[in-house]
Amino acid sequence: MNQSQASIQSPIPSGKKFDAIVVGSGISGGWSAKELCEKGLNVLLLERGRMVEHVKDYHTATLNPWDFPHHNQAMPLELLKRYPVQNRTGFSITEATHQYFVNDLENPYVEEKPFDWIRGYQVGGKSLMWGRYSFRFSDLDFEANAKEGIATDWPIRYKDIAPWYDYVEKFAGIAGSRDGLPHLPDGQFQPAMPDNCVEAHFRQAVNNGFPDRKVISARAAHLTAPTQEQMNLGRAKCQYRNLCMRGCPYGAYFSTQSATLPAARRTKRLTVRPHSIVNSIIYDEKTGRATGVRVIDEQTHQWHEFKANIIFLNASALGSTYILMNSTSKQFPNGMDDSGQLGRNLMDHHFHVGATADYDHDLDKYYYGRHPAGLYIPRFRNLAGQEKQAFKRGYGFEVYTNRENWDHAYHEEGFGADFKEKATQFGTWKITLDAFGECMPYEDNRVYLTDELKDKWGQPVLKMDVHYRDNETLMRKDAHDQAVQMLEKSGFSNIKGFDSQAHPGLSIHEMGTARMGTSAKNSVFNKFNQHHVVKNVFCTDGAAMTSSPCQNPSLTYMALSARAADYAVKALKRGDL
């Protein structure tokens, strides 16, 4: 038995003390554990779900469609009943991927207004099935609240986090191009994935026809030229399978399993405890510090306590806020917060608005494999020097292309020579422009604890009271019209605009509810993601976000986690924690 297996399988006595506890093992939790371990701390990583070991537990990663009982096209109804919320995505619950999503019947919540809470409870969290688009924020984003007098000011600026973006990009591996856009800063990139013929046409047409915008290669956490450090962790170049949500046995995309967990394990300072539902933080009234966490064993329902000098909350935006709300005491009767902002300002990107079209040319051309990343149109509204729109902030477009029947020839009926011939014929090229728009931080977009329902372990659940407002509605109208206009001017046919009116949560980019800010009066955490009052508690996941720039946020979680861990260890060594 190797050390990593022993650290998982050996029982951990209740009350045991570690240097640090990290709650949650997804993108931010993996980074927090890695950084704290590499800086010399003994770390307990707590995950509420099951263990998923890299490669050996990706049971569907290499299966063909015909290897599944229903060819990965249908789910047994009895199994599907477990996922009434998770299935709202329309793509997540399949024979190949359902095991990475939560059982909604065991993990309920209350929707005051519709909110699609998509979750993954296992070691690795949603890092196993995330979209992998990785963009930096800029001072356009960090300064927006202050300039517009909205919500509260971010306590950091781009210069504070830029070195940490460099740091995490080099380790994680981000494929992209240097595009020279001040509002979407360049990073430390591996080579971008090549365009297919439709992407090349669209890129050239829009860049030539719309001076105010630029089509770029999506910046995605996929290895295209692995470094020696990445290969030493067992990672390899992307194979262009685009089966990422099943788990990548090549370690080609960034996940906890492929990258941060192996790095933390090699220090021999990491202990992983799956099946550990963190209920609350233990607070010492005399010292004003946290001493540990209370844990419910997912399988036995027994309660445990584990102690540490530092606690990092990385349980997801709503997961970390849930723990803070449950952490009541004489000092904090309403949860661990003095600002009144805990549970407020919940944001999620609004999306599923744009246009689709056909491309009737280059029908004799094909491309290699299945690209897991396409093109991106960065925000082009309300930038410096531009005419102001009827809405604040902006949106970007993710651009996807495909060839009809390219991936789906095996769905055709038939057999023999005619079937084989049909399987080699491909139809029209397709293109989709899907906008991701910024949601403003509204104080009354919030979550509460409620006893209206209890989860499987007898705990109260969250109640969601969140909706989009006029600003998002106006932005969506513009995104729809601009998508249609770009496709028309670029020579596409059969253009169809769409707006699915997706509810908050469905973009799976929950942010806010325990925001960073400049003081304990306006926020829960400070510029180092440190609790304003309880100084040895940190939070570096989506809960700490002060606003929700239209870019995908995961790269920022990585950078904030590395930065906060560096600060925490130095503070601990100084005796400040």
Look at the block and give the residue holding tokens 């005399």: 286
Residue 246 is predicted with a pLDDT of: 94
Average pLDDT per consecutive 10 residues, the chain (577 residues; last block may be shorter): 45 91 98 98 98 96 92 88 92 92 96 96 96 97 97 98 98 97 98 95 98 97 98 96 94 97 98 97 97 97 97 98 97 96 98 96 84 95 93 97 70 69 79 97 97 94 96 97 98 96 92 97 98 98 98 98 98 94
Residue 469 is predicted with a pLDDT of: 95
Domains and CATH numbers, the chain: 18-64+110-175+219-346+441-460+507-576 (3.50.50.60), 180-218+349-438+468-503 (no CATH)
Joined together, the tokens standing for residue 486 give 């770009």
110, 461 Cβ separation under 8 angstroms: yes
Q: Which residues of 348-387 are buried (b: 16+ CB within 10 A; e: fewer)?
A: bbbbbbbbbbbbeeeeeeebeeebbbbbbbbbbbbeeeee
Look at the block and give the residue holding tokens 């051309």: 365
Residue 368 is predicted with a pLDDT of: 79
335, 344 Cβ separation under 8 angstroms: no
Q: How many angstroms from the chain centroid is the CA of residue 206?
A: 29
19, 33 Cβ separation under 8 angstroms: no
Q: What is the CA radius of gyration of the chain?
A: 23
Gap between the Cα atoms of 100 and 130, Å rounded: 11
- Give the angle 142-146-149 at the CA atoms, nearest 5°: 140
Gap between the Cα atoms of 76 and 338, Å rounded: 48
User: What are the DSSP calls for 258-292, one per residue?
Assistant: IIIHHHHHTTT-EEEE-SEEEEEEEEETTTTEEEE
**To the nearest 5 percent, what fractions of the chain are helix, strand and coil?**
25, 20, 50
Q: How many angstroms from the chain centroid is the CA of residue 157?
A: 22
Give the Å distances, CA to CA, from 97 to 11, 73, 384.
Answer: 30, 12, 43
Residue 7 is predicted with a pLDDT of: 46
Joined together, the tokens standing for residue 420 give 């084989």
376, 220 Cβ separation under 8 angstroms: no
